[in-house]
């Protein structure tokens, strides 16, 4: 069984080291970032089971970081760690989608109990998330080979961005993928130039998929896209 992956974003080097070493000893797979920008980069470049976010950090505070994360993933558990105990901050944390909130100083044993309680409530990862092969109408898509194969066995080698976009669509078949969320997840930010780049890649995916009339990447104007597969 694979280890539970936890990302810690904490700018206090002493506390960060203590958390890392303690949770690592408890058999979690731990990564540590020392500011909000590094935390967002690590979040986007890997998959995680739970996040521990400090609130007061340089470059990007924990609340801003959580807001960016929620654009990409509405479900990943977040625990805030902060010296701020004011009611307004606690309310703000939960409005941003926090699962828990610990005020410093806290007992590291209590943190472990809260992590374990949250993980028990979170359903096991959908097997789709772990899959590298998808059936798309008359196509077979193999994510880890960057490969799309049509019914005539014609192969399309996908670029990295095409590949990541198609996987994102496959994980959300017939559901809307927000434009900004896709940009942040795959490009790292939602700038105008990256948005234009994404439009080019989506046009290429549509071209690859055009031989099956039951497949459509539909634009939801002002919002994003849907990969539709008709019965």
In the chain, the percentage of residues whose pLDDT exceeds 90 is 48
Domain ranges within the chain, ordered by starting residue: 5-121, 130-229
Statement: 130-229 belongs to CATH 3.40.630.10 = no
pLDDT score for 218: 93
Burial of 178 (0-12, 13-18, 19+ CB in 10 A): middle
User: Does 130 have pLDDT greater than 60?
Assistant: no
| CATH number at 5-121 | 3.40.50.2300
pLDDT at 128 over 70: no
For residue 21, pLDDT over 50 is answered with yes
Cβ within 8 Å of residue 37, ≥6 positions away:
59, 60
pLDDT of residue 190: 78
Please say if the pLDDT value at position 117 is more than 70.
Answer: yes
- Taking CA atoms, 3 is separated from 7, 24, 130, 165, in Å, by 13, 10, 14, 27
Task: Say if residue 227's pLDDT is above 70.
Answer: yes
Closest to 55 measured CA to CA, from 87, 80, 91: 80
Q: What whole-number percentage of the chain has pLDDT above 70?
A: 94
5-121 and 130-229 in the same fold: no
Instruction: Count other Cβ atoms within 10 Å, centred on residue 42.
Output: 17
DSSP code, position 158: P
Give backbone dihedrals phi and psi of 75, rounded to 5 degrees, phi first: -110, -20
The order of strands in the sheet holding 139-142 is 133-136, 139-142, 147-149, 155-157
* Residue 32: pLDDT band with limits 50, 70, 90: very high
CA distance 122 to 212: 37
When pLDDT is averaged across residues 123-139 and rounded to a whole number, the result is 69
- Is 197 a residue whose pLDDT tops 60? yes
Distance between start and end Cα atoms, the chain:
36
The answer to whether 68 and 40 have CB atoms below 8 angstroms apart is yes
Structure tokens at 96: 């941003």
Which residue(s) pair with 147 in the sheet? 142, 157
pLDDT at 31 over 90: yes
Q: What is the pLDDT of residues 158-196, one digit of tens each?
A: 999 999 899 989 888 888 888 887 887 788 777 888 889
Q: What is the pTM (predicted TM-score) of this model?
A: 0.61
């Amino acid at each position: 069984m694979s280890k539970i992956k936890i990302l810690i974003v904490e700018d206090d080097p002493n506390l960060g080291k203590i958390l890392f070493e303690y949770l690592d000893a408890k058999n979690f797979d731990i990564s540590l970032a020392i500011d909000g920008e590094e935390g967002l980069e690590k979040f986007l470049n890997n998959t995680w089971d739970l996040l521990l976010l400090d609130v007061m950090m340089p470059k990007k505070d924990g609340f801003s970081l959580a807001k960016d994360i929620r654009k990409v993933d509405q479900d990943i558990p977040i625990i805030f760690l902060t010296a701020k105990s004011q009611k307004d901050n606690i309310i703000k944390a939960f409005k941003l989608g926090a699962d828990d909130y610990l005020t410093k100083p806290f007992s590291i044993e209590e943190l472990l109990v809260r992590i374990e309680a949250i993980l028990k409530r979170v359903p096991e990862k959908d097997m789709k998330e772990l899959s590298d092969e998808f059936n798309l109408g008359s196509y077979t898509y193999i994510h880890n080979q960057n490969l799309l194969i049509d019914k005539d066995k014609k192969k399309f080698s996908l670029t990295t961005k095409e590949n990541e976009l198609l996987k994102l669509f496959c994980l959300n078949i017939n559901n809307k993928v927000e434009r900004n969320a896709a940009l942040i997840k795959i490009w790292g930010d939602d700038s105008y130039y990256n948005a234009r780049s994404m439009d080019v890649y989506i046009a290429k995916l549509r071209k690859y998929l055009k031989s099956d009339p039951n497949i459509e990447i539909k634009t939801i104007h002002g919002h994003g896209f849907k990969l539709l597969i008709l019965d």
